[in-house]
């Protein structure tokens, strides 16, 4: 069983343009992993596990030795803000990728991304305890804001997060790659694989 604890909660929820930071969630997933291989390019086979959860509007591949599961936010820890969907993928209780989906009241596209960037900079800065600046980009055909790895403020386990926010109209996705010193290299490679293979369904 993959028992993990996510340190960074949902940063935007409920209404596009309204940043709402959430305290750290407690996570208890139930593994539901399916091993598979995906096709890319001109029929070349790439080994890995395919993430194809129907609640998310994208697929990607991740290392086959990682495990996949569900996790739930405690309403008392998130000021009542609940994700529409969530999943966790990783190899131990401290090294995991947390995926969350939030349904927004207003659509967010490339034109609205600068406003989202300003709000997200403030949210991540509060979690990191130092000024953080995201980068606007596109991942898997979706407008995105990316934050390079940052230390979590006052975390005795020295966990770090690399976070990507993806926007698909009235849906926001958060991809949080969390790692400890011992698992940092493996998590970095796995996160790179996820982001490089992520694409719309």
pLDDT in tens, 46-66: 568 999 999 999 999 999 999
Classify the phi-psi angles of 170: left when phi > 0, otherwise alpha if psi is within -120 to 50, otherwise beta. Answer: alpha
**Residue 60 maps to a domain:** yes
Q: How many CA atoms, within 13 angstroms, populate the side-chain half-sphere of residue 189?
A: 9
The answer for residues whose C-beta is within 8 angstroms of residue 124's C-beta and 6 or more apart is 11, 132, 134, 147, 150, 163
Match 């293979």 to its residue by tokens.
197
**Residue 18 maps to a domain:** no
Match 């770090």 to its residue by tokens.
160
**pLDDT tens-digit map of 107-159:** 999 999 999 999 999 989 988 888 999 999 999 999 999 999 998 888 888 99
Say what the pLDDT of residue 185 is: 97
**Residue 64 maps to a domain:** yes
Q: In CATH, what number is assigned to the domain containing residue 173?
A: 3.40.1000.10
Element (H, E) at 89: strand 85-92
Number of domains the chain is built from: 1
**Residue 90 maps to a domain:** yes
Say what the pLDDT of residue 78 is: 47
Classify the phi-psi angles of 123: left when phi > 0, otherwise alpha if psi is within -120 to 50, otherwise beta. Answer: alpha
The answer for residues whose C-beta is within 8 angstroms of residue 34's C-beta and 6 or more apart is 49, 50, 68
Say what the pLDDT of residue 136 is: 97
152: how many CB neighbours lie within 10 A of its CB? 17
What are the C-alpha distances in Å from 16 to residues 69, 110, 122, 142, 169?
A: 28, 13, 15, 16, 10
**Residue 116 maps to a domain:** yes
Contact 63, 35 (CB under 8 A): no
β-sheet bridge partners, residue 60:
51
Contact 6, 178 (CB under 8 A): yes
pLDDT surpassing 90 at residue 17: no
**Residue 30 maps to a domain:** no
For the purposes of burial, counting CB atoms within 10 Å of the CB of 161, is it exposed (0-12), middle (13-18) or buried (19 or more)?
buried
Q: Which of 36, 58, 95 is nearest to 195 (CA)?
A: 58
Say what the pLDDT of residue 77 is: 45
Which structural domain range is residue 155 located in? 36-200
The answer, as to whether pTM is greater than 0.85, is no
**Residue 22 maps to a domain:** no
Contact 183, 92 (CB under 8 A): yes
**Which runs of consecutive H residues, i.e. helices, occur in the chain?**
113-128, 184-197
Say what the pLDDT of residue 164 is: 96
**pLDDT tens-digit map of 71-97:** 655 444 444 567 899 899 999 878 999
**Residue 2 maps to a domain:** no
Q: Is the dihedral of CA 61, 137, 112, 127 positive or negative?
A: positive
């Amino acid at each position: 069983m993959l028992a993990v604890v996510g340190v960074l909660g949902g940063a935007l929820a409920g209404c596009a343009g309204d940043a709402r930071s959430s305290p750290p969630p407690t996570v208890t997933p139930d593994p539901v992993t399916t091993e598979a291989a995906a096709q890319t390019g001109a029929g070349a086979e790439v080994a890995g596990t395919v993430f194809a959860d129907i609640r998310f509007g994208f697929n990607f591949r991740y290392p086959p030795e990682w495990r996949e599961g569900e996790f739930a936010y405690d309403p008392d820890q998130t000021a009542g803000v609940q994700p529409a969907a969530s999943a966790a993928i990783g190899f131990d209780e401290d090294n995991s990728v947390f995926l969350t989906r939030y349904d927004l009241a207003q659509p967010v596209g490339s034109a609205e991304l600068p406003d989202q960037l300003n709000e997200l900079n403030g949210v991540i800065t509060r979690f990191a305890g130092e000024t953080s600046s995201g980068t606007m980009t596109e991942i898997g055909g979706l407008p995105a804001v990316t934050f390079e790895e940052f230390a979590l403020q006052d975390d005795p386990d020295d966990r770090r997060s690399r976070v990507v926010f993806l926007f698909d109209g009235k849906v926001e996705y958060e991809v949080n790659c969390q790692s400890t010193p011992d698992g940092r290299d493996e998590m970095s490679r796995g996160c790179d694989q996820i982001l490089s293979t992520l694409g719309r369904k």
